[in-house]
């Protein structure tokens, strides 16, 4: 007897599932890829250069927390149909809402500074001064967004960021000590020093940055993903975070194999050396193009996410298609962030150090964002059966507390240092 062939109804069902997955895929992957921006690359490379493989254990813990947080954000947006700023405004008192939005804004302004520093760093590899590249980039990005041609430029920037996919290849071709990599990824090999803690906070800030949560929540809402299709969005959110973490770990491993033990990075050229096993003499050009694409993309999207969050919380017009008269707060905030980010980078100083220092600020602010996300995801009055269960509460709580503990210790040591203690 011939085997039964699937009927047209079964084929249609499978096709529908595939189409639903394609519709859901995107927010998590794009958000996670955006996290490996100028600040991310510089911080991960600094970790490998300064401490070799010793930060891998901490990076694995951060990656776990990252996956957990991205899943909670996707779940909140799918089951409520609202972004993070709107949920915070509805679920918390006015003062807490103002505090949360203020933390978002400060964190994102810091990121805008990072992205313009990344643009300046990328152009410096081609011999262009920051005093030329940064003002031109600021005007170009501002005009691209406000005059509606940014969508086309965005595709080019995303293609340029694909350069960083070569880091896993570079990590393999760099011939690292794999036994040491495995050992230091599985067992803590921490260094008791403020410099190690400093970079640890920077790793948290550049990986679980508030901007990523804001972006993912908004993108999920824009896609209109229904609760019954959440399983597809969960794969997208968690898979995107995992892939981004693989790239992050690869940057640390590749840099440690090539530069490990040399100390803190002094220039972008040193960070580019990790790509030499893949690109040879063209490593600096390849690294520069990838860094430029990542930084330019984020330099536009980060200030937009702040403007959307603030306008959403206040309840005013928010659209790049509006004029300044129609959306003064939204477009005014976007313009102000571009001006601040570009201006700070024009102050003389080491750009790599500026980027990493900004990621530390992100790391200090990140726990504030995570507490709001965890409390919202725990509320059955908001999510019903989709709220965090016992296991999710424990895992989420441990992840948030761990991140907060590292940031708190760093802040405490910094304050004590002001008084000559430690």
pLDDT confidence band for 272 (50 / 70 / 90): confident
Evaluate if residue 263 carries a pLDDT over 80: no
Q: How many CA atoms lie within 13 A of 255 on its CB side?
A: 33
Evaluate if residue 204 carries a pLDDT over 70: yes
Task: List the domain range (segments joined by +) for residue 360.
Answer: 24-418
| DSSP character at residue 207 | H
Q: Which residue has the higher pLDDT, 386 or 415?
A: 386
Residue 8 lies in a domain: no
Per-residue model confidence (pLDDT) at position 195: 86
Residue 18 lies in a domain: no
For residue 190, which of 46, 360, 59 has the smallest C-alpha distance? 59
Task: Return d(Cα 203, Cα 116) in angstroms, integer.
Answer: 19
For residue 118, which of 384, 379, 358, 331 has the smallest C-alpha distance? 358
Evaluate if residue 148 carries a pLDDT over 70: no
The SS3 of residue 77 is helix
Residue 411 lies in a domain: yes
The pTM of this model reads: 0.84
Per-residue model confidence (pLDDT) at position 384: 92
Average pLDDT, the chain: 83
Token readout for 313 is 């919380």
Q: pLDDT tens, 73-102?
A: 999 999 998 888 889 989 999 889 888 888
Evaluate if residue 26 carries a pLDDT over 80: no
Evaluate if residue 3 carries a pLDDT over 50: no
Evaluate if residue 1 carries a pLDDT over 60: no
| DSSP character at residue 82 | -
**Residues 215, 73: contact at Cβ < 8 Å?**
no
Q: How many CA atoms lie within 13 A of 352 on its CB side?
A: 20
Token readout for 165 is 């996919």
For residue 110, which of 209, 3, 27, 198 has the smallest C-alpha distance? 209
Block residue for tokens 């149909």 = 81
Residue 17 lies in a domain: no
Total of domains in the chain: 1
**Burial per residue of 286-304, b for 16 or more beta-carbon CB atoms within 10 angstroms, e otherwise:** bbbbbbbbbbbbbbbbbbb
* Rounded (10°) angle between helices 84-91 and 94-124: 160
Task: Please give the average per-residue pLDDT across 251-270, as a whole number.
Answer: 83
Task: Return d(Cα 49, Cα 274) in angstroms, integer.
Answer: 10
Among 25-34, 276-285, 319-328, the minimum mean pLDDT is found in 25-34
Per-residue model confidence (pLDDT) at position 59: 93
Indicate if the alpha-carbon torsion angle 393, 375, 220, 163 is positive or negative. Answer: negative
* Rounded (10°) angle between helices 210-223 and 27-35: 160
Return the biggest CA–CA distance within the chain: 87
Task: Return d(Cα 142, Cα 145) in angstroms, integer.
Answer: 6
Task: Return d(Cα 319, Cα 308) in angstroms, integer.
Answer: 8
Instruction: Indicate which CATH number applies to the domain containing 37.
Output: 1.20.1740.10
The CA-to-CA distance between both ends of the chain, in Å, stands at 82
Which residues have a Cβ under 8 Å from the Cβ of 125 and sit 6 or more positions away? 268, 269, 272, 284, 285, 287, 288
Token readout for 240 is 């995107």
pLDDT confidence band for 277 (50 / 70 / 90): confident
Residue 11 lies in a domain: no
Q: pLDDT tens, 372-389?
A: 999 999 999 999 999 998
Selection from 75-84, 99-108, 255-264, 408-417 with the highest mean pLDDT: 75-84
Q: pLDDT tens, 341-367?
A: 999 999 988 888 888 888 888 888 888
**Residues 69, 373: contact at Cβ < 8 Å?**
yes
Question: What phi and psi, each to the nearest 5 degrees, are found at residue 368?
Answer: -60, -50
Task: Please give the average per-residue pLDDT across 316-338, as a whole number.
Answer: 80
Percent of the chain at pLDDT above 90? 25
Per-residue model confidence (pLDDT) at position 71: 92
Task: Please give the average per-residue pLDDT across 302-321, as a whole number.
Answer: 76
Task: Return d(Cα 34, Cα 212) in angstroms, integer.
Answer: 7
Residue 12 lies in a domain: no
Among 149-163, 217-231, 283-297, the minimum mean pLDDT is found in 149-163
Evaluate if residue 166 carries a pLDDT over 70: yes
Block residue for tokens 């940014």 = 150
Percent of the chain at pLDDT above 70? 87
Angle (CA) 194-200-203 rounded to 5° is: 145
Token readout for 32 is 């996670």
Task: Return d(Cα 13, Cα 350) in angstroms, integer.
Answer: 57
Residue 16 lies in a domain: no
Per-residue model confidence (pLDDT) at position 143: 87
Q: Which residue has the higher pLDDT, 306 or 156?
A: 306
Residue 13 lies in a domain: no
Task: Please give the average per-residue pLDDT across 163-192, as a whole number.
Answer: 89
Which residues have a Cβ under 8 Å from the Cβ of 106 and sit 6 or more positions away? 361, 365
Per-residue model confidence (pLDDT) at position 186: 93
Per-residue model confidence (pLDDT) at position 13: 55
Task: Return d(Cα 100, Cα 85) in angstroms, integer.
Answer: 8
| DSSP character at residue 109 | H
């Amino acid at each position: 007897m011939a085997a039964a062939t699937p009927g047209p109804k079964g084929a249609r069902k499978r096709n529908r599932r595939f189409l639903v997955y394609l519709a859901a895929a995107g927010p998590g992957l794009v958000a996670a890829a955006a996290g490996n921006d100028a600040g991310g690359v510089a911080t991960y490379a600094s970790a490998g250069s300064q401490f070799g493989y010793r930060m891998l254990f901490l990076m694995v813990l951060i990656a776990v927390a990252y996956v957990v947080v991205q899943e909670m954000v996707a779940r909140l947006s799918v089951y409520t149909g609202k972004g993070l700023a709107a949920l915070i405004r509805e679920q918390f008192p006015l003062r807490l809402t103002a505090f949360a939005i203020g933390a978002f804004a400060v964190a994102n302004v810091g990121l805008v500074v990072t992205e313009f520093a990344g643009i300046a760093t990328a152009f410096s590899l081609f011999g262009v001064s920051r005093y030329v590249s940064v003002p031109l980039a600021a005007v170009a990005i501002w005009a691209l967004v406000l005059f509606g041609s940014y969508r086309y430029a965005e595709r080019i920037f995303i293609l340029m960021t694909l350069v960083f996919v070569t880091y896993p290849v570079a990590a393999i071709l760099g011939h690292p000590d794999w036994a040491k990599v495995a050992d230091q990824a599985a067992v803590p090999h921490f260094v008791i020093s403020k410099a190690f803690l400093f970079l640890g906070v920077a790793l948290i800030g550049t990986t679980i940055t508030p901007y990523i949560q804001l972006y993912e929540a908004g993108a999920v809402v824009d896609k209109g993903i229904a609760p019954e299709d959440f399983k597809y969005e969960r794969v997208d959110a968690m898979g995107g975070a995992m892939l981004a973490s693989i790239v992050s770990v690869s940057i640390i491993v590749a840099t440690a194999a090539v530069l490990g033990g040399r100390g803190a990075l002094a220039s972008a050229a040193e960070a580019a050396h990790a790509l030499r096993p893949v690109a040879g003499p063209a490593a600096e050009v390849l690294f520069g193009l990838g860094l430029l694409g990542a930084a330019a993309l984020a330099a536009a999207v980060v200030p937009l996410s702040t403007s959307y969050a603030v306008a959403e919380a206040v309840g005013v017009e928010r659209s790049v298609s509006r004029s300044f008269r129609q959306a003064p707060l939204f477009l005014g905030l976007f313009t102000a962030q571009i001006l601040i980010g570009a201006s700070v980078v024009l102050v003389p100083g080491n750009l790599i150090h500026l980027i990493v220092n900004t990621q530390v600020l992100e790391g200090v602010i990140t726990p504030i964002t995570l507490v709001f996300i965890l409390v919202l995801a725990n509320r059955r009055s908001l999510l019903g059966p989709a709220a965090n269960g016992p296991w999710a509460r424990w895992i989420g709580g441990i992840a948030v507390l761990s991140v907060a503990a590292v940031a708190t210790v760093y802040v405490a040591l910094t304050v004590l240092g002001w008084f000559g203690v430690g």
